[in-house]
């Protein structure tokens, strides 16, 4: 995905703007890591979480927040977070789409779920 760096840079810029250091991962449509950055001060545990958010969004073809809703007890995807090496079921992972097709995904972690989602959305908006 040639545009991965553009997506990453836009997300990192948003993180700087809101004053929250972040870990940002971008994967291709097959959920393979294409690019990653950790800003100084971003929590180390979130390195894995950001990558898993991106993988989850690419594999499931939906946001991690949507996966979380579908993974609640009694919902159709209950328990799915234990599959595929561990999926993430809270916000901050968003598919990257072009012409209705998923071409990759971004995952952001180290802030609140709202901050992670805001930064991820900034990355998504930079996809040409």
By CB neighbour count within 10 A (0-12 exposed, 13-18 middle, 19+ buried), where does 97 fall?
A: middle
**Does residue 98 register a pLDDT over 70?**
yes
- pLDDT tens figures, 59-97: 999 999 999 999 999 999 999 999 999 999 999 999 999
Residue 25, pLDDT score: 99
Q: Are 35 and 8 in contact (CB under 8 A)?
A: yes
- Domains of the chain, each with CATH number or no CATH: 4-125 (3.30.450.150)
3 state SS of 89: coil
What does the pLDDT read at residue 1?
61
- The answer to whether 64 and 89 have CB atoms below 8 angstroms apart is yes
Q: What is the pLDDT of residue 2?
A: 75
Q: What is the mean pLDDT of the chain?
A: 98
How far apart are alpha carbons 48 and 38 in whole angstroms?
Answer: 11
Mention every residue, 6+ apart, whose C-beta is less than 8 A from residue 8.
24, 26, 35, 36, 37, 106, 123
């Amino acid at each position: 995905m040639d545009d991965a760096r553009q997506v990453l840079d836009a997300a990192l810029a948003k993180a700087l703007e809101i004053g929250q250091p972040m870990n940002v991962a971008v994967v291709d449509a097959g959920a393979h890591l294409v690019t990653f950055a950790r800003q100084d001060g971003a929590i180390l545990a979130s390195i894995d979480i950001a990558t898993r958010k991106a993988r989850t969004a690419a594999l499931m073809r939906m946001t991690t927040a949507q996966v979380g809703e579908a993974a609640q007890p009694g919902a159709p995807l209950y328990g799915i977070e234990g599959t595929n090496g561990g999926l993430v079921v809270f916000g901050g992972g968003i598919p990257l789409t072009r012409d209705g097709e998923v071409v990759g995904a971004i995952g952001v972690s180290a802030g609140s779920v709202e901050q992670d989602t805001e930064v991820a959305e900034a990355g998504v908006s930079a996809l040409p």
